[in-house]
Amino acid sequence: MKKALLPLLLIIPAACTQTPKNTEKSYPIVDSLLRVMTLEEKVGQTVLFTSDWTVTGPSIRQGYIEDIRAGRCGSIFNAYTAEYTRKLQEVAVNETRLGIPLLFGYDVIHGFRTIFPINLGMSCTWNPGAIERSARVAAKEAAAAGLHWTYSPMCDICMEPRWGRISEGAGEDPYLGSLIAAAMTRGYQGKDLAADTTVLACVKHYAAYGAPIAGRDYNTVDMSERWLREYYLPPYKAAIKAGALSVMASFNELDGIPATANRHLLQDILRDEWGFTGFVVTDYTGIPEMVFHGYADDDEDAGRLAMNAGVDMDMQGAAYMNYLADLVRSGAVKESTLNEAVRRILTVKAKLGLFEDPYRYCSPEREKSQTLTQENKAEARAVAAESMVLLKNDGVLPLKKGVKTAVIGALAASKDDLLGSWRGAGEVESVPASILDAIKEVTPVVYAEGCQEEGEDRSGFAAALAAARGASQVVLVIGEDCQWSGEAASRSDIHIPGVQSELLEKLAAAGKKVAVVLLNGRPLDLSAESETAGAILEAWYPGTMGGYAVADVLFGDVNPNGKLSVTFPRTLGQVPIYHYAKNTGRPYRYTGAKYESRYLDVPNEPLYAFGHGLSYTTFKYSPITLSADNFSGSGNLEARITVTNTGTCEGIETVQMYIRDLVGSVTRPVKQLKGFTKIALRPGESREICFTIDRCTLSFYRADMTWGPESGGFKIMIGGSSDNVQEASFSYEE
């Protein structure tokens, strides 16, 4: 393997979370402006409208320029390029009464121009440092194009593969998701938000947007307060604690109240408990949509509800622009409430340095020099390779170089699909190689399309079979069209679409061991493919440099080390399926008894468990050694395990620690991720890993909803995936 060994990366169990201290700096310009602003000018700062993009470049809708000039619009999203944002900023600064600069936002989700793997893919690196670097690259490119603000990180925990937006998040686990949310926030905002290479992070979609009933986007969410706090809220809180200064309210309702008017979420938890000092923005037209929810009489009523609940900025809904001034005049909204919203928005603009220099982000020189650099592309290639998960390998991978290879599948030749959904300002023209192109640079290739990713056309099967028969090794690239995931892209069927799997069956029946490469944005039902394929490499949508990254892994230049951040079910009927499920009163004990919690037609276990991911080498785990059999609240416990590379090549392993609380005042999951370590080992090398367990590691929301541990017995589980662990027991005394 050519990949250099990584240093030890230790992620210890999470510390007790505290409410961030309010160290808010005072900005005199904000107070000065609030004293002289008219009611209409105040309302204008709460209005966010969109720019557009045509074949000739960026454009602004008719009337919006006049709205900016009149002080009726204080922020614009979807406007980028240094030249264009400067023109809009000049209108705000030079042609308005008070010269308040605009705030420019954009969906920079997994890269701006240099596109990284989709977020679900990046989460499979289990490497917060690499994810932070990806956000740093995205921030530099976006800031150089005139942007101040990104609508990321998406902190929505999700165990629902039907939901298209699972592709934008970090998977199913709150511990891993929290580390990633904080890492992305740090990457975007850096150490100095006023630097011209940073952008404002926006925590979204607050809250619990990743749990829509039936996996249908925008659908209702319903869960207990306990479940919400323990499993869904932690990543949002982690991003706030990392310094994020904007939050986006989600489309969904929660406990019968739309998030856009949910005071419990926006005030009680976000501001009062967590100490959030930034501003809250709606999602696109979130305020008027409350009429369709059946929660508001009309747009005016919706505006009243949103402002009084704690929403500071209205994205594209126009409810604030049209009705908020009159709502204040009538007393339906207090002017002090509006003042606080405006103060928060202006303070963030001040933190970004926009009052000192409103054009600091508008540099065509930086836009050219800092975009799609060799360094950025090298980082994207490395992260893409690290994000890939080897689901299965019957000795087919790595492939041999210099050997005739059949590459099959329409997706193999596609550059567009490598970018995935929400690809920022990424362009197909910037993708240097498809998977097919990259493999051609490594080994002789015969290519056949075989079939498209959709439809029933089998006319290409014969050519694909002929190509495979004439080659020594076969790569089949299959999956979903990149537009089949992301917003408004829910699916009721999570099989690989079209006749792609049928083509795999034909190739296997012809006696070929096929290496399957998957391009997809969600967990899929791969039960049939896992029986047929010789190897399966989950590549997700790997981004600008994804073609080369796939080739790096297929041919062994990079040893795959990605681990699943989300469970892959055997069938859709198992969904929702996740690793921190509970035991029930009649757990399945594999005895054949009828009256147990099980299915009649499939096992309870997933096809590929959370944390699963193979390597081209193998690892052996010793038994766990504990520093003691018990400990108390004033101390801690050390758990040690030795991991040995028992294979023939160097590799990287993610050592995962799970905890089970055996008896609680409320029932506890069968396992919870509480720590992990990434280590690099040469063949035959061993390393002892130590995890520290303290009272914070064992804490949860107890029966009275206080946060803390309880005395009793525990299991600790350490291994290479959630379903392949060593176990030991200990007790804790509070």
Catalytic residues: 283
Other C-beta atoms closer than 10 Å to the C-beta of 2 total 10
CA distances from residue 163 to 156, 160, 340, 473 in whole angstroms, order as listed: 12, 6, 36, 35
At residue 423, φ and ψ (nearest 5 deg) are: -90, 30
627: left (phi over 0), alpha (psi -120 to 50) or beta: alpha
DSSP character at residue 229:
I
The span from the CA of 353 to the CA of 190, in Å, is 14
Assigned token pair, 384: 């893409």
What's CA 114's distance to the chain center, in Å?
17
Cβ(279)–Cβ(343) under 8 Å? no
> Could you write out the DSSP letters of every residue in 532-587?
H-SEEEE-----TTHHHHHHHHHTTSS------SSPBPSSGGG-S--TT-B--SS-
SS3 assignment, position 286 = coil
CA distances from residue 699 to 157, 239, 668, 672, 734 in whole angstroms, order as listed: 20, 20, 11, 11, 11
- Alpha helices (H) in 1-71, listed in sequence order: 28-36, 39-45, 64-69
Q: Which residues, in sequence order, are bridge partners of residue 247?
A: 203, 280
CA distances from residue 337 to 84, 259, 315, 425 in whole angstroms, order as listed: 34, 18, 18, 36
SS3 assignment, position 652 = strand
Q: Which residue in 607, 707, 722, 719 sits closest to 666, CA to CA?
A: 707
Q: Which residue in 607, 575, 673, 598 sits closest to 159, CA to CA?
A: 575
Pairing mode of beta strands 514-519, 535-538: parallel
The span from the CA of 582 to the CA of 580, in Å, is 7
Amino acid in position 574: Q
What's CA 576's distance to the chain center, in Å?
19
3-class SS letters over 63-123 = CHHHHHHCCCCCEEECCCCHHHHHHHHHHHHHCCCCCCCCEEEECCCCECCCECCCHHHHH
Residue 429 contacts by C-beta under 8 Å, 6 or more apart in sequence?
Answer: none
DSSP character at residue 273:
I
* Longest CA span, the chain: 80
Cβ(385)–Cβ(552) under 8 Å? yes
Q: Which residue in 421, 532, 538 sits closest to 484, CA to CA?
A: 421
Assigned token pair, 230: 């323990």
